[in-house]
Amino acid sequence: MSEDIPAQIKLYVKEQADKARNQAIGIFGFIAVIIAILSAFGVNKYVNDAIKMKLDEKGITELENTTKQKMDEIRNLHDNAVSMIGEIDSFLDVGSWDVTQILDLENGSWDKLGGSFTSNGGTMIIFASGSGYSHESSIIGMYIELDGKVVGTCKTYTNERQSHKSFVMNPLVLNGISAGEHVLGLKPWEDTQSDNNDFYCITILEFPF
């Protein structure tokens, strides 16, 4: 019995020592965890605050630069618009835009298929159309003359004799027309015939350039 007591005491002492050691380890471990958390929180907070401040500064700078750029673009658009409006106004002040109808479904002989008009000079487009027939299967059409000079043609092909056919319209663009009085006329292509069953139109569109 007396030999068992020291063993029991030894076991008890060992258990108490292990318990104290575990408690100490637990306390120190808890303290270490708290310190680590606090340290990490402090560092992260500092880093987050620094990043946020940097982003705020960068964002403000970018916003200022973007705003300035957009304001410059708006000023340029305004200046360009004012300049363009001024150019358009002066362009329109020339008064060279014009439309003249010389023939409106005119029929009859070739002699009266034409007319005079006053041009402001520049570029013009001549829209001419008409019809005719032939005694043989052939190309039929008309010449378009300005001041006695041929400037274009309108024509087609007819397979049937004595059959009235429309000529293919051919809008003509003429540049460098001088200002003043001009005469526009239509003349028959080769042996193209025309009578009261054929009709002719001429319209002139003028541009100031």
The token duo for 74 is: 């708006």
Residue closest to 200 by CA, chosen among 130, 136, 114, 119: 130
Q: How far apart are the two ends of the chain, measured CA to CA in Å?
A: 133
Average pLDDT, the chain: 77
CATH number belonging to domain 98-207:
2.60.120.40
Of 52-56, 91-95, 121-125, 197-201, the one with minimum mean pLDDT is: 91-95
pLDDT at 136: 92
Mean pLDDT of 90-118: 77
Give the model confidence (pLDDT) of 119-147 as tens digits.
Answer: 888 889 999 999 999 999 999 999 999 99
pLDDT at 2: 46
pLDDT greater than 50 at residue 1: no
pLDDT greater than 50 at residue 195: yes
pLDDT greater than 60 at residue 17: yes
Strand pairing category for 149-158 and 138-146 = antiparallel
Mean pLDDT of 178-187: 91
Residues 138/157, Cβ–Cβ less than 8 Å? yes
Q: Where in the chain are the domains?
A: 1-93, 98-207
SS3 content of the chain, % helix, strand, coil (to 5): 45, 35, 20
